[in-house]
Structure 1
Amino acid sequence: MDPLWYKDAVIYQLHVRSFFDANDDGYGDFEGLRQKLPYLEALGVNTLWLMPFFQSPLRDDGYDIADYYQILPVHGTLEDFRRFLDEAHARGMRVIIELVLNHTSIDHPWFQEARKPGSPLRDFYVWSDTPDKYKGVRVIFQDFEPSNWTFDPVAGAYYWHRFYHHQPDLNWDNPEVERAMHQVMFFWADMGVDGFRLDAIPYLYEREGTSCENLPETIEAVKRLRKALEERYGPGKVLLAEANMWPEETLPYFGEGDGVHMAYNFPLMPRLFLALRREDRGPIEAMLQETEGIPETAQWALFLRNHDELTLEKVTEEEREFLWEVYAPDPRYRINLGIRRRLMPLLGGDKRRFELLHALLFTLKGSPILYYGDEIGMGDNPFLGDRNGVRTPMQWSADRNAGFSRAPYHRLFLPPVSEGPYSYHFVNVEAQQENPHSLLNFVRRLLGIRNRYAKVLGRGSLRLLPVENRRILAYEREYQGERVLVAANLSRYSQAFDLPLEGEVGLVPVELFSQSPFPPVEGRYRLALGPHGFILFTLRPKAEVERLYLPDWVATEEEVEAPQDLPVVSLSGGVEGLFIDTLADERARASFLSALGRVLGERSWLALRPERVELKDALRLQKAPPLYLTLLRLEGEEGSLEAFLPVALRPEGEGPGLFARVRGGGYLFELSQDPGFYDLLLRRLAQGFEGRSLRAHYRGRHPGPVPEALELLRPGLAAGEGVWLQVGLVQDGGLDRTERLLPRLDLPWVLKPVGGLYRARGQERRALALTGTLPSPRPQDAFAYALRLAGEGLARLQDHPVGEGALGLVAHALGELEALARLLGVRLALLHRALGEAEGEGEGVPLLNRGLEAFVEAGGEVFLLALGREGRGLPLQDLARLAYDLERALYLAAEEREGAEAWVDLAADFLEAALLQAYQEVNQGEVQAVGFPQAMLALAQEQALWKEGSGRKRVLERWRRKAGDQEVQ
């Protein structure tokens, strides 16, 4: 176990009795909490802080403990607690509980015994014959208590209490008290608890003439507590100090790394709210600088709100008056020296300010704490008295009692918020889980980022950036070379600013929510943010960011072999002996076709693995170095097909497609993946191409522009500025049908061919290549586009567990890919309709047959570029082909991202549902989704036979599972 785990912690604070009631008695319990652990795991928290659950009269929310060793019966039993703790640990969550060292309840047996004259436990508490001792010590709960002393008639003396009169302070000058509290700590630590929150720790000792706070004796007692803990358990269990003090008073609690492990950053919290309303980063920067200098192993705990109130003790009087005026103008919401409001009402329901504050909470230096219900924006009830208004039941659903309990309403420990904009009818987990734009899913996404960069944000350094615009707070977090950059707009208006990033020149900011790269840093970096906007970047080397999401045909291409390992073709004459029948060198041709067949068996774009290759025709396209257009017949177990393939002989043995060495000099290449071939072919077509082989006549033309270079989008498809060129590597009749039908389709997203290369033999005429124009200079293959979108979407999901409400995260993370799926569904339906009109109705609907390969993306638009071979079939077959490609893109993208594969099944179901729904909305009733699993399984089996690959294999496994599940049902 990492002893510094608390630095990476995301802590969720909750009341057991407020969370979920499993036995319907009106109080939350440990069994209910255990049942809700999947929700907390899916939320992204990894540490639970449980507020007091011990035996108590509950006069102070359980902080008035009557028995440290017993659980309040309404919460369950010790066995219930152990069961909860074991499951939390099994889910990778740690548990911190309260250790109330300063005081007990007046109902505690210790105090009841101490009241008796001559009792041996008398010295467990602080007594006085007069209330005049420790004069000048402040009263903390000044709204409720007039003094720190209360007279007890049984004892005939005054007892000391820093909080309520029913909470007498323990006497830490008595060694027996310290030993007793160590035993309490050992009891719960033996059970497996991971840490303790040291409640009200500054007030353990009293000395005349002092404030009775933060005394040296208290600091030494804290160090002894840690020593005792580590001597018994070793490192790994944590002490978290609740020391609501100024920075210089809190720092001693850390010691030299031998005090508490963590302490709340009370001075920073109110200054986040102060900076937000003043629209100036000054209060935050000042307190960040004041709280620097803690030991390397120590950590601040950050929070926006906690169970008590937005405490304003550690601000100046002027700051307090300002905060009261802007955040609690209604005196009902003020209590002691704070504000008793939940976070969302405190912010006036402003979602942008809510999101901004959470972005700061999760990225500033320290471990963040979430108060239960704040993740959904729960409200409060000021009429409940004291601070109970912010301790109401968790709002799970719009069902009775907010889904918290099935008990009668009058038996609930507190009523849920049931009126106004924060009523559980509107604000609840169920309503927000599947809504990708809800507060809950925003917090989940932000926690995903926090957990992905846990080391950087939990342990890294923080460097404030001196931005001239004071409404902008910007800082850089860095840990072991990894950087996260944060910029936040504290203003309610849009702001422009320059980030001083001169030291980061050459790095590329990648926005963390979208995973989108921004322009590289070249010096001062100009940005703009909307009202209360923020942006999170990771800074990465340019070469790393520019690594493309490799298309399937590139990812599966074999490593280039060393020349000495290549097959050898013994050619006695010129290269014509390989291609021209009248000049054929039969031995050399046989070696050439054997070597070519071997390399073609490794090409993902080919629909079979050839066992025999026959040369049917060849035409020389270029004399030096020799380049021939070949027409091949390929035969394998799956059947036979014709392929049109460019082959070249070159003097150097480097480049894509190398497959054989020619004895006497030179190397043979197949050029399906060589952009230079597509450049050459387009130029020749633009010049007006005509040629003759022994068997056929070839003609070609391209009336459009000729760019300087073409980019290979996939084998058989290249594009440049305003131009596309597709070559029919597999002769299935698709290009002939494309040339004939696309000009007849009156659809604006259809790219009609304007030129091409044709082979004629008698009455037979076949299209070998087609060209056309593009509206955008930067197209990409639609499968590569889907692969990129899948990669970006899964990157947003990879750090989230697949749990409750996962569909809401999927909908947000894969929004672009969902939009593509829906667009394809609509366009496929329109295409089927248009092809039926153009070709006439027959049995079924004309097949697209090429999946995503039929489309190209350009400038954000998706265009149809190709049709499949002649044939008619069912719409489900075309839908299955598109769904198959989308699913395979998910699996391939998941291979590059640890933790993303768990999301693929859910993401695939989501996209396939979107595709089918969009198709059916256009062609209502024309698709029976019942047969979809069978169509997918048949296609997956066919594709797996054609080409091995992890993506194809995983799709087949998935649909075998789904088909099996359907049979079971």
Structure 2
Amino acid sequence: MERKWWKEAVVYQIYPRSFKDSNGDGIGDLRGIISKLDYLKELGIDVVWLSPVYKSPNDDNGYDISDYRAIMDEFGTMADWEEMIEEMHKRGIKLVMDLVVNHTSDEHPWFIESRQSKDNPYRDYYIWRPGKNGREPNNWESHFSGSAWEYDETTGEYYLHLFSKKQPDLNWENPRVRQEVYEMMKFWLDKGVDGFRMDVINMISKVPELPDGDVQPGKKYAWGGRYFMNGPRVHEFLQEMHREVLSKYDVMTVGETPGVTPAEGILYTAPERKELNMVFQFEHVDLDSGAGGKWDIHPWTLADLKKTMTKWQKELEGRGWNSLYLNNHDQPRAVSRFGDDGTYRVESAKMLATFLHMMQGTPYIYQGEELGMTNVRFSSIDDYRDIETLNMYKEQIENGEDPQAILEKIYYKGRDNARTPMQWDDSEHAGFTTGTPWIQVNPNYKEINAKAAMEDPNSVFHYYKKLIQLRKAHDVIVYGTYELMLEDDPLIYAYTRTLGKETLVVMTNFSSETAIFRLPNDITYSTKQLLISNYDVDEQEELYEIRLRPWEARVYKLQ
């Protein structure tokens, strides 16, 4: 397997609005990030993925971009950005920026022109259609509820927006659009950016006829995903992007690709296809979603988690590359979702980190994950800020749903769980701001914060630091093959990683009970070394039968 720096890296995602505020306006900013780079260096991360900091009206927290070559006023200036990347590079930290090119803001100059008239030169930068039978061009539903079409009175036509109505979709069929995107990418790469995380990149190619989707009973609009996800020209477009831009730089690329299978993941990431380095797949974070989608919450099972993770590990082995994540700005906090954020918060946060970081792929840490930050339960819908959450709440209230029942869904799945301010210390607003934060801080910041974690050698922070150090010291963690063990065990997720004569045994207990680990007969060893564990362990203990305590994790190296 070919060695690459991005395979060996550990990535840290910064959601700038919530990371660190330097000027007291309650909104995180670039100077706040600069002030915390030594913290990231101490943790040991190699790459920062920075969520969008471009000029934006902030309808979807910066994922609605009005100028791709300017910095949002709330975040600072281009000079601040240039200082930030320079300071990152001084510390050996690379910077990956968000590339949001499925859509722009409706305040982008291209769209302002596009809506002026049907013969405007920018008209076909976007997807415009006349209505059908007095209604929208098709029955697609937006990701943020309601129709995916918005009527525009100026020209009497509708434009497509798979997300907010302030996020019109770009028309990638137009070669001028693609060239504009490539020139913008070169602008940032020439400024020193080390790669891109590409927002919903598998949605840029739509089936040209834009057919109706199948409407679920009781729904007004249809999920049209099969007509805009992994569309007919998506690979052609990405190969063109690689040829025109990415091949000329030594960069890391990761595509956000909802709904991909491992077979499709290989099409995006196989090196010989010259598209992307890796994708974010969603199967494991959709395990608790029912047929009705994200808000139709069903309990996940360990059996399903094993099946999903193993499928991606095995099918991409030697053919593509995995990205490893449990958290990001769109997902609830992992320790609240997959662990125990009460009695065993520290143990289960460490266990989940072990389970993830020992797999093959590039691990991503989302801000606060390294502290074991948890979901938040705000008492009122008025305390929430996320457009997806607010639209869903409004729609379900109109459908007669019980307000408290809707809040319970939000407590479990809402995106604002990840967006409460980073908990730096136990001072007011967790040291995030001296002003009023744009969204409230999680009340548990007095116990869970970076200052306390750095002072405690047994903290989640120091455990993550050790995991990152192990990755740099042992090639088997990066390049070894993966095999699942104890497939049918209801409590234990265990697997091996093997490279040459080295084998790692990873054992994790996904429960608050004691679980018995028994080493399979086909695994033998003459020497063993305990690499990491989240409890004190007698290093003389043999592996043939081990009582794993609640949420216990251990990794042994065998030879």
Using the alignment, how far apart are the partners of 2:428 and 2:178 within structure 1?
46
Structure 2 residue aligned with 1:301:
323
Give a deviation string over 1:329-348, Cα, whole Å, max 9, x none. xxxxxxxxxxxx43344444
- Residue correspondence of structure 1 range 925-964 to structure 2 within 5 A: none
User: Is 1:251 aligned with 2:252?
Assistant: no
- Residue correspondence of structure 1 range 870-909 to structure 2 within 5 A: none
Out of 235, 253, 273, which is 1:239 matched to? Answer: 253
Using the alignment, how far apart are the partners of 1:251 and 1:459 within structure 2?
17
Give a deviation string over 1:882-912, Cα, whole Å, max 9, x none. xxxxxxxxxxxxxxxxxxxxxxxxxxxxxxx
| More contact order relative to length (CA 8 Å, sep ≥ 6) | 2
Using the alignment, how far apart are the partners of 1:273 and 1:163 within structure 2?
19
User: Is 1:124 aligned with 2:125?
Assistant: yes
- Residue correspondence of structure 1 range 265-280 to structure 2 within 5 A: 265-271=281-287, 280=302
- Residue correspondence of structure 1 range 70-149 to structure 2 within 5 A: 70-117=70-117, 118-130=119-131, 135=138, 137-142=140-145, 146-149=146-149
SS in 2 for 1:354: helix
Taking structure 1 as the reference length, what is the TM-score of the superposition?
0.48
User: Is 1:373 aligned with 2:368?
Assistant: yes
Q: 1:357 corresponds to which letter in structure 2?
A: L
Question: Judging changes above 3 Å, is the alpha-carbon distance between structure 1 residues 292 and 137 closer, same or farther for their aligned structure 2 residues?
Answer: farther
Using the alignment, how far apart are the partners of 1:434 and 1:188 within structure 2?
38
Answer whether contact 1:159 1:168 (CA < 8 A) is retained. Answer: yes
SS in 2 for 1:456: helix
Using the alignment, how far apart are the partners of 1:148 and 1:114 within structure 2?
18
Answer whether contact 1:272 1:284 (CA < 8 A) is retained. Answer: no
Shift of 1:535: 1.1
| Larger Rg, first or second structure (1 or 2) | 1
Q: 2:322 corresponds to which letter in structure 1?
A: W
Using the alignment, how far apart are the partners of 2:315 and 2:30 within structure 1?
39
Q: 1:537 corresponds to which letter in structure 2?
A: Y
SS in 2 for 1:178: helix
Using the alignment, how far apart are the partners of 1:115 and 1:264 within structure 2?
34
Give a deviation string over 1:753-809, Cα, whole Å, max 9, x none. xxxxxxxxxxxxxxxxxxxxxxxxxxxxxxxxxxxxxxxxxxxxxxxxxxxxxxxxx
Structure 1 residue aligned with 2:403:
none
SS in 2 for 1:244: coil
Structure 1 residue aligned with 2:422:
394
- Residue correspondence of structure 1 range 792-811 to structure 2 within 5 A: none
Using the alignment, how far apart are the partners of 2:517 and 2:26 within structure 1?
53
Structure 1 residue aligned with 2:219:
none
Q: 1:365 corresponds to which letter in structure 2?
A: Q
Using the alignment, how far apart are the partners of 2:302 and 2:335 within structure 1?
21
Structure 2 residue aligned with 1:284:
306
SS in 2 for 1:492: coil
SS in 2 for 1:512: strand
Structure 1 residue aligned with 2:215:
none
Q: 1:251 corresponds to which letter in structure 2?
A: I
Structure 2 residue aligned with 1:36:
36
Give a deviation string over 1:604-657, Cα, whole Å, max 9, x none. xxxxxxxxxxxxxxxxxxxxxxxxxxxxxxxxxxxxxxxxxxxxxxxxxxxxxx
- Residue correspondence of structure 1 range 515-914 to structure 2 within 5 A: 517-518=539-540, 525-540=544-559
Answer whether contact 2:483 2:497 (CA < 8 A) is retained. Answer: yes
Which stretch of the first structure deviates more once superposed, 367-376 or 161-170?
A: 367-376
Answer whether contact 2:260 2:281 (CA < 8 A) is retained. Answer: no
SS in 2 for 1:216: coil
Using the alignment, how far apart are the partners of 2:522 and 2:529 within structure 1?
13
Shift of 1:221: 0.6
Q: 1:79 corresponds to which letter in structure 2?
A: A
Structure 2 residue aligned with 1:212:
228
Q: 1:108 corresponds to which letter in structure 2?
A: H
Using the alignment, how far apart are the partners of 2:174 and 2:18 within structure 1?
36
Question: Judging changes above 3 Å, is the alpha-carbon distance between structure 1 residues 516 and 273 closer, same or farther for their aligned structure 2 residues?
Answer: farther
Using the alignment, how far apart are the partners of 2:247 and 2:99 within structure 1?
18
Using the alignment, how far apart are the partners of 1:125 and 1:277 within structure 2?
40
- Residue correspondence of structure 1 range 154-169 to structure 2 within 5 A: 154-169=154-169
Answer whether contact 1:127 1:158 (CA < 8 A) is retained. Answer: yes
Using the alignment, how far apart are the partners of 2:247 and 2:469 within structure 1?
36
Shift of 1:107: 0.5
Structure 2 residue aligned with 1:675:
none
Give a deviation string over 1:97-140, Cα, whole Å, max 9, x none. 11111000001011001111131011100001116677454532
Question: Judging changes above 3 Å, is the alpha-carbon distance between structure 1 residues 3 and 238 closer, same or farther for their aligned structure 2 residues?
Answer: farther
Structure 2 residue aligned with 1:229:
245
Answer whether contact 1:136 1:211 (CA < 8 A) is retained. Answer: no
Shift of 1:474: 1.6
Give the percent of matched residue pairs that are identical in Structure 1 and Structure 2: 31
Using the alignment, how far apart are the partners of 2:229 and 2:136 within structure 1?
15
Give a deviation string over 1:402-450, Cα, whole Å, max 9, x none. 21223x32xx333323x3xx2x233221122212233323333333333
SS in 1 for 2:188: helix
Shift of 1:516: 7.1
Shift of 1:52: 0.4
Question: Judging changes above 3 Å, is the alpha-carbon distance between structure 1 residues 279 and 530 closer, same or farther for their aligned structure 2 residues?
Answer: farther
Give a deviation string over 1:235-289, Cα, whole Å, max 9, x none. x212211001141443322254412101013213445999x97764453134422
Q: 2:171 corresponds to which letter in structure 1?
A: N
SS in 1 for 2:41: helix
Question: Judging changes above 3 Å, is the alpha-carbon distance between structure 1 residues 198 and 442 closer, same or farther for their aligned structure 2 residues?
Answer: same
Structure 1 residue aligned with 2:431:
403
Question: Judging changes above 3 Å, is the alpha-carbon distance between structure 1 residues 377 and 511 closer, same or farther for their aligned structure 2 residues?
Answer: closer
User: Is 1:343 aligned with 2:338?
Assistant: no
Structure 2 residue aligned with 1:492:
512
Question: Judging changes above 3 Å, is the alpha-carbon distance between structure 1 residues 62 and 381 closer, same or farther for their aligned structure 2 residues?
Answer: farther
Structure 1 residue aligned with 2:452:
431
SS in 2 for 1:532: coil
SS in 2 for 1:537: strand
Instruction: Number of aligned residue pairs: give it.
Output: 491
SS in 2 for 1:211: helix
Answer whether contact 1:463 1:477 (CA < 8 A) is retained. Answer: yes
Q: 2:62 corresponds to which letter in structure 1?
A: G
Deviating runs (4+, > 6 A) in structure 1?
276-279
Q: Which blocks of at least 5 consecutive residues in structure 2 are unaligned?
A: 212-225, 291-297, 387-414
Answer whether contact 2:482 2:495 (CA < 8 A) is retained. Answer: yes
Give a deviation string over 1:673-712, Cα, whole Å, max 9, x none. xxxxxxxxxxxxxxxxxxxxxxxxxxxxxxxxxxxxxxxx
Using the alignment, how far apart are the partners of 1:176 and 1:482 within structure 2?
52
User: Is 1:449 aligned with 2:449?
Assistant: no
Question: Judging changes above 3 Å, is the alpha-carbon distance between structure 1 residues 101 and 527 closer, same or farther for their aligned structure 2 residues?
Answer: same
Q: 2:323 corresponds to which letter in structure 1?
A: A
Using the alignment, how far apart are the partners of 2:336 and 2:510 within structure 1?
18
Structure 1 residue aligned with 2:221:
none
Give a deviation string over 1:368-394, Cα, whole Å, max 9, x none. 111111222334354323244531221
The structure with more strand, counted as a fraction of residues: 1
Answer whether contact 1:510 1:518 (CA < 8 A) is retained. Answer: no
Structure 2 residue aligned with 1:942:
none
Q: Which blocks of at least 5 consecutive residues in structure 1 are unaligned?
A: 310-340, 541-969
Question: Judging changes above 3 Å, is the alpha-carbon distance between structure 1 residues 481 and 230 closer, same or farther for their aligned structure 2 residues?
Answer: farther
Shift of 1:520: 7.0
Question: Judging changes above 3 Å, is the alpha-carbon distance between structure 1 residues 388 and 488 closer, same or farther for their aligned structure 2 residues?
Answer: closer
Using the alignment, how far apart are the partners of 2:168 and 2:279 within structure 1?
24
Give a deviation string over 1:839-876, Cα, whole Å, max 9, x none. xxxxxxxxxxxxxxxxxxxxxxxxxxxxxxxxxxxxxx
SS in 2 for 1:464: strand
Structure 2 residue aligned with 1:264:
280
The structure with more helix, counted as a fraction of residues: 1
Shift of 1:290: 4.9
Using the alignment, how far apart are the partners of 1:173 and 1:364 within structure 2?
38
Give a deviation string over 1:525-555, Cα, whole Å, max 9, x none. 2222112222111113xxxxxxxxxxxxxxx
Shift of 1:489: 1.9
